Structure 1
């Protein structure tokens, strides 16, 4: 984030939102090359010319660089860090109804995919309907028919 701010001539990183696309905050093809060259010098990595197009936000660029510099990171820890970042990004959002619905559908799809990997889907099918809580019933309905 600091290198991106410096490349644009900013004196602080406060002017850069880590989750906002770099091309939305002033990067063009020339400054993209400058950023890549600065990061390559700082990290010692050989970085692709398409770096900011492949990793369009300071946050995604930082994750990429971290993965390149510290390749032994536990995949589970990296996934949990991504979830932490996602959860933090939800804190200040007030989406309109359609955006809210689209996000719910995508999140539910991810949950369904994850359940399929862990075997939790089979556990859910064995739910005792007579003793299930309201939340358990709604989760079952959502998993079968999707959110309303």
Structure 2
């Protein structure tokens, strides 16, 4: 199950789990939350699509526009994939994962974000691990690590 189980949504997940399976439900550990919040499938797909797009038309003047569309498709893809394919219905987890995707894109320093006047590669690279390792603590300290 991809849904992050915390004290905030434990009762909801327990009720849904009781209908679907007889497996016991417990709150996720720090490591489980860390893995479930990171949208690695979409990040890998984004790197693939962006890399192909850059190789094919990276020198054209309109690639910046295409790159922004690829970025927006990645954000939408993160939300849709988690919601439809993985069954995540928690709005907090969807938002955290979408922001995580954007944090990865900023840290990668691709054209759609590196052209922003306020973009700073060093700051983006520092913010990424802080965000990634801090998100499991959003719903409070887990009972187990």
TM interval, short-chain normalised:
under 0.3
Larger Rg: 1
Which structure has more relative contact order (CA 8 Å, sep 6+)? It is: 2
